[in-house]
Amino acid sequence: MEKLFIVLDCVRLERDKNAIQLVQKQPTQTNSTPELQQFYRLLTPYAFNFLKAQFECAAKTDVLEKTTENNCTCLFYNSMRLPCRHIFNLRKKHLCDERWTRNFYYQNQRVFKNVEVLEDINTDNDNTTITTLYKKKENSHNS
């Protein structure tokens, strides 16, 4: 019985050490995405790593039928109770009305009707560059 208490004390000391490291350690490189920075400050590193993986997969995922901005029926959400890839995808789609997006603007402005707009987004460390190319459509008719 005495050895059990020694083991319990060791486990508690290990947890205390991990808690202190959580407070003392600060990342040398911050997340470039503001949403992820907010979650990093909110969550433990353990939970944040799960959430970050879901956030990064959101663009490649379809929204499930019963997904809302705060709730989902997927296994990840039901087991972890953290925002899942489906919730992130839905939030991005409903973040602002489509009429305010660049794609909508390019598709509906008269000056761009005969022009194909191509955007290339590059992210290096802390810098993001957006290169916009305007290419005349080959089968355009003057109306």
Predicted confidence band of residue 143 (pLDDT cuts 50, 70, 90): very low
Q: What phi and psi, each to the nearest 5 degrees, are found at residue 124?
A: -120, 125
Q: What is the pLDDT of residues 36-83, one digit of tens each?
A: 888 888 888 889 999 999 999 988 888 888 999 999 999 999 999 999
Predicted confidence band of residue 106 (pLDDT cuts 50, 70, 90): confident
| Element (DSSP H or E) covering residue 117 | strand 115-124
CB 86 within 8 A of CB 63: yes
Q: What is the DSSP string of 5-57?
A: HHHHHHHHHHHHHHHHHHHH---SS--SSHHHHHHHHHS-HHHHHHHHHHHHH
Query: Looking at residue 121, what DSSP letter applies?
Result: E
For the whole model, what pTM was predicted? 0.56
Name residues whose C-beta falls within 8 Å of residue 85's C-beta, 6 or more positions apart in sequence.
54, 55, 57, 58, 61, 74, 76
Name residues whose C-beta falls within 8 Å of residue 34's C-beta, 6 or more positions apart in sequence.
none
Question: In the prediction, which pLDDT does 88 show?
Answer: 92
Q: What is the Cα–Cα distance from 43 to 63, expressed in whole angstroms? A: 24
Question: In the prediction, which pLDDT does 29 show?
Answer: 63
